[in-house]
Amino acid sequence: MITTNPARFVYGTITVGALLAAESARAETYLETVAAVLLALLLLWLAHTYAEFTGRRLQGSDAFTLAAFGRAMVHEAPILVGAAIPLLTVLVWWAAGGRLTSAVTAAILAAAAVTLIIEVTAALRTHRSGLGLLVQCSLGLLLGLLMIGIKLVLH
């Protein structure tokens, strides 16, 4: 599933990382945090599905069908897989009895790390080395640092 639409996997990871970075873990509970992330994730997934599906229909004058919308949902499903990484981090911390603020920080760091790992993987697949590898990996690092930056600015 990830390999059929890896862009959405990356998008899901970064979006949930950024969402959690904006979270005020001091004011919410685990249940509220997880519920809010799940609702935002559902909205994100459906919004992407709807946008892609509607865009294709407008370009091709295709009619709406539930089957076609279902296929679009499957195509966008890697968003959910990518988003699961930071969300699972929060759930593991919750199960372990950790503080919510620590769980959110760990989830942001997990999302940042996954983003960097994805970029390193992409660079290595193109046989980059030296400066080329460093430059390409810098984008993944920048995106991870921006997620962390949101948390630092807001909290």
Residues 84 and 55: their CA atoms lie apart, in Å, by: 27
Q: What is the token pair recorded at 139?
A: 């984008």
Does 52 fall in a domain?
Answer: yes
Does 43 fall in a domain?
Answer: yes
Q: Judge whether 112 and 145 are in contact, CB under 8 Å.
A: yes
What pLDDT, on a 0 to 100 scale, did the predictor assign at position 107?
Answer: 93
Q: Name the domain count of the chain.
A: 1
Average pLDDT, rounded, for the chain? 86
Residues 35 and 42: their CA atoms lie apart, in Å, by: 10
What pLDDT, on a 0 to 100 scale, did the predictor assign at position 149?
Answer: 86
Q: Judge whether 95 and 26 are in contact, CB under 8 Å.
A: no
The predicted model gives 86-111 an average pLDDT of: 93
**Where does the chain show beta strands of DSSP type E?**
none
Does 128 fall in a domain?
Answer: no
Does 117 fall in a domain?
Answer: no
Q: What number of CA atoms fall less than 13 Å from residue 152's CA on the CB side?
A: 7
Contacts of 140 (CB under 8 A, 6+ apart): 115, 116, 117, 118, 119, 120
The predicted model gives 78-85 an average pLDDT of: 90
Residue linked to tokens 């807001």: 154
Closest to 99 (Cα-Cα) out of 19, 34, 35, 29: 29
Predicted TM-score (pTM) of the model is 0.83
Does 131 fall in a domain?
Answer: no
Q: What is the identity of the amino acid at 127?
A: H
pLDDT (tens digit per residue) in 110-139: 999 988 888 888 888 888 778 888 888 888
Does 134 fall in a domain?
Answer: no
Contacts of 89 (CB under 8 A, 6+ apart): 103, 106, 107, 110
Does 93 fall in a domain?
Answer: yes
Which range of residues forms the domain containing residue 46? Answer: 6-111+145-154
Does 11 fall in a domain?
Answer: yes
Q: What is the token pair recorded at 125?
A: 């697949």
